[in-house]
């Protein structure tokens, strides 16, 4: 048993996952969620109507609370962050969840708290067991809302984490989105959670509040106490317990350097992306929701190079209608016009099945080699055509381009284009407007597509190289398997030769090539990619300033020389060293 006297207060560093950048030093507010105590009794048949009415009132009260939180978040953080709570309202409206609870009341005769808790737990378990990070997060939404409904049934007010966390580093097992929303700018110094991932909603809120966050610290909540001093390094994902004066001094220096760097990057962000020898470079953004166009503008992206549309599907309990999709695509195109928005058709399946589409996706032994993306779409023409019509209709606004994911060869591309032609004909017959000249391109992310890029280029208006998948397929490295993550080498000679081949094939047909995988957002690789002849880079919006800074600090002629040298090398590590050296000596702003 730990007592105050024998507690170890020597400096200890715990490694988690960096989730929101920044450095904070402060005392801990330990936030441990307590389980609600649920009453257990039976309800006579004659009183079950009143029990159901009590449930209705609790749902209504919860709905009003969530709407109040949404309004507050929208005021403090903006509409995109507020939209996180749409998922909570959907849970409250879920007829299956509500209906099952009422059925449980009728058949078991137990009080409504127990019935609702049981049904909600079944839902949470079902979502928790799905092998997809994004869908597992939905279990968190249900847990959060269910807790509120139960509190309302029990007449308990929920406490605001914001009040408790003022000026403190919040350390918790997990933080629900509504709790995170209670932490506004001035209150928490940092957020640290034992569980969670970079895509958890609490982290999204932390990032938008610009509060440093580290997740995945496993057992930190068991190792510290309220009031302990900690240092949170949201850049490296480290949490230092009981930091020494020396560590604090070192971090003070790092904080100053980072602040300086961020300032310089933000300044560069406002300037054009032009190399020192006057070559303009196109830098675009990757988005998952139309609301993220605000970020594209904030970070001065030249439109969107990759709109991953499957996220509209993943966050919905059913297949979104043509109209819903049209609204999202049009909103993005309108927001960024005249800059282009490249909309990628669905990349569902494999590791990204749909919550509301379990019947559409079978469990597969090798999901990344499975029924995914364009393969799924060509087998589900109704779903595919809905999306294609929505994109075509949105093309009358702004500058919309369409691209297909996971194309493996020319025949598959022709099949996809045939479906697109059918959609054009249908819209024409209905008298619905679309841009007949909307450019249609293909992602190049399968080795067979790379090797036949000269053939594909004949039927494409542009290429976009998905290095995430291309590297995984070229090197046979599962991109989500952390045991082999160290073997995932963007600078492998096979990758370089393949990129050069794709660029050559595209330029031979006068079409442009973009890279939209994570490699494009790493400033260390900017010179290599541009030197290999890539025309455009597309990345998650906050990475734009660092890549732009790199572009503005290099000469394109030097980047070409770097790529030439790299192509002569025989190993990934040599090319990596060359890129690091180029970056360190010519670019690095620190």
Catalog residues that contact Mg ion under the rule CB under 5 A: 445, 466, 469
Nearer to Mg ion (CB atom), residue 469 or residue 522 = 469
| 242 classed as catalytic | no
Question: DSSP code of 285?
Answer: E
Structure tokens at 220: 């930190």
Structure tokens at 342: 């490249």
Q: How far is it, in rounded angstroms, from Cα 220 to Cα 224?
A: 6
| Residues that contact ligand PEP, how many (by CB under 6 A) | 10
| 202 contacts ligand PEP (rule: CB under 6 A) | no
Active site residue 201: yes
25 is a contact residue toward ligand PEP (CB under 6 A) = no
302 belongs to the binding site for ligand PEP (CB under 6 A): no
Q: Considering beta carbons, is residue 349 or 517 the nearer one to ligand PEP?
A: 517
423 binds, among Mg ion, ligand PEP, none (CB under 5 to 8 A by kind): none
Q: Verify binding: residue 466, ligand PEP, rule CB under 6 A.
A: yes
Distance separating alpha carbons of residues 509 and 512, to the nearest angstrom: 9
In angstroms, the CA 313 to CA 321 distance is 10
Site for ligand PEP, residues 493 to 552, rule: CB under 6 A: 516-517
Q: Out of Mg ion, ligand PEP, none, which partner does residue 308 contact, by CB within 5 to 8 A per kind?
A: ligand PEP
Q: How far is the CB of 502 from ligand PEP (least distance, A)?
A: 13
284 binds ligand PEP (CB under 6 A): no
Catalytic residue among 110, 201, 300, 492: 201
User: Which CB, 291 or 350, lies closer to ligand PEP?
Assistant: 350
Enter the DSSP assignment of 511. -
Asked if 215 and 197 count as a contact pair (C-beta separation under 8 A), the reply is yes
| Beta-bridge mates of residue 513 | 463
> What does the per-residue mask of binding to ligand PEP show for 423-462, with x meaning CB under 6 A?
----------------------x-----------------
**Shortest Cβ distance from residue 470 to Mg ion (Å)?**
8
What is the closest distance, in whole angstroms, from the C-beta atom of residue 306 to ligand PEP in the complex? 6
Q: Which element (helix H / strand E) includes 305?
A: strand 304-308
Please name the helix (run of DSSP H) or strand (run of DSSP E) that holds residue 255, with its range, or none: helix 245-270
186: Cβ–Cβ under 8 A, 6 or more apart, which residues? 166
Distance CA 197, CA 204 (A): 10
Q: Which of Mg ion, ligand PEP, none lies near 117, with the C-beta cut-off 5 to 8 A by kind? A: none
Phi (first) and psi of residue 424, to 5 degrees: -60, -45
Binders in 307-346 for ligand PEP, by CB under 6 A: 308
178 binds, among ligand PEP, Mg ion, none (CB under 5 to 8 A by kind): none
- Provide the token pair at 94: 């879920």
Q: Output 233 or 288, the one with its CB closest to ligand PEP.
A: 288
Instruction: Please measure the distance between the N-terminal and C-terminal CA atoms of the chain and give it in whole angstroms.
Output: 46
Give me the phi and psi of 182, to 5 degrees please: -75, -10
**For residue 320, what are the CA distances in angstroms to 123, 141, 290, 406?**
21, 20, 14, 22
The distance of closest approach from Cβ of residue 528 to ligand PEP in the complex, given in angstroms and rounded to an integer, is 16
Locate 431 and state its tokens.
Answer: 């008298």
Residue bearing tokens 């992310």: 445
Rounded least distance, CB 360 to ligand PEP, Å: 19
Please identify, among the stretches 102-110, 295-303, 358-366, 465-473, the one whose residues bind ligand PEP according to the rule CB under 6 A. 465-473
Residues with catalytic function: 201, 516
| Interface ranges with ligand PEP (CB under 6 A) | 306, 308, 347, 445, 466-469, 516-517
């Amino acid at each position: 048993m730990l007592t105050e006297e024998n507690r170890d207060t020597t400096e200890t560093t715990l490694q988690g996952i960096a989730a929101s950048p920044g450095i904070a030093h402060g005392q801990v507010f330990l936030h441990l969620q307590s389980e609600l105590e649920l009453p257990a009794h039976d309800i006579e048949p004659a009183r079950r109507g009143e029990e159901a009415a009590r449930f209705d009132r609790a749902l209504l009260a919860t709905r009003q609370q969530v709407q109040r939180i949404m309004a507050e978040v929208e005021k403090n953080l903006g509409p995109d962050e507020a939209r996180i709570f749409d998922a909570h309202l959907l849970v409250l409206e879920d007829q299956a969840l509500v209906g099952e609870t009422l059925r449980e009341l009728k058949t078991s005769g137990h009080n409504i708290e127990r019935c609702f808790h049981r049904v909600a737990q079944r839902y949470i378990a079902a979502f928790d067991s799905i092998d997809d990070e994004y869908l597992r997060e939905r279990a968190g939404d249900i847990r959060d809302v269910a807790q509120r409904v139960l509190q309302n049934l029990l007449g308990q007010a929920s406490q605001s984490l914001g009040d408790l966390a003022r000026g403190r580093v919040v350390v918790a097992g997990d933080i629900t989105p509504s709790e995170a929303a209670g932490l506004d700018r001035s209150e928490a110094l940092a957020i640290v959670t034992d569980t969670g991932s970079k895509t958890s909603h609490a982290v999204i809120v932390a990032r938008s509040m610009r509060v440093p966050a580290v997740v995945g610290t496993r057992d930190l909540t068991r190792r510290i106490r309220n009031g302990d001093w900690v240092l949170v390094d949201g850049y490296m994902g480290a949490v230092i317990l009981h930091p020494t004066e020396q560590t604090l001094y070192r971090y003070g220096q790092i904080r100053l350097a980072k602040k300086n760097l961020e300032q310089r990057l933000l300044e560069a962000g406002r300037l054009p992306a032009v190399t020192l020898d006057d070559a303009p470079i196109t830098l675009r953004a990757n988005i998952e929701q139309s609301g993220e166009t605000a970020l594209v503008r904030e970070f001065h992206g030249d439109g969107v190079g990759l709109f991953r549309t499957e996220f509209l599907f993943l966050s919905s309990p059913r297949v979104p209608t043509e109209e819903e999709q049209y609204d999202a695509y049009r909103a993005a195109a309108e927001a960024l016009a005249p800059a282009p928005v490249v909309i990628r058709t669905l990349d569902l399946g494999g590791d990204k099945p749909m919550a509301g589409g379990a019947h559409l996706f079978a469990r597969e032994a090798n999901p990344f080699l499975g029924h995914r993306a364009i393969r799924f779409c060509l087998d589900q023409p109704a779903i595919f055509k809905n999306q294609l019509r929505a994109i075509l209709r949105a093309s009358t606004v702004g500058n919309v381009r369409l691209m297909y994911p996971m194309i493996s060869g020319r025949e598959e591309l022709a099949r996809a284009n045939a479906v697109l032609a059918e959609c054009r004909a249908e819209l024409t017959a209905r008298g619905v407007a679309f841009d007949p000249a909307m450019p249609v391109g293909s992602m190049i992310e399968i080795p067979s597509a790379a090797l036949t890029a000269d053939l594909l280029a004949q039927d494409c208006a542009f290429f976009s190289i998905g290095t995430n998948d291309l590297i995984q397929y070229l090197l046979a490295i599962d991109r989500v398997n952390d045991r082999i993550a160290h073997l995932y080498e963007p600078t492998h000679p096979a990758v370089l030769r393949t990129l050069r081949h794709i660029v050559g094939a595209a330029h031979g047909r006068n079409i442009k090539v973009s890279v939209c995988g994570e490699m494009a957002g790493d400033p260390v690789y900017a010179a290599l990619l541009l030197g290999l002849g890539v025309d455009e880079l597309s990345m998650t919006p906050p990475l734009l300033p660092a890549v732009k800074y790199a572009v503005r600090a290099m000469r394109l002629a030097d980047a070409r020389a770097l790529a030439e040298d790299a192509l002569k090398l025989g190993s990934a590590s040599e090319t990596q060293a060359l890129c690091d050296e180029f970056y360190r000596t010519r670019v690095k702003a620190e």
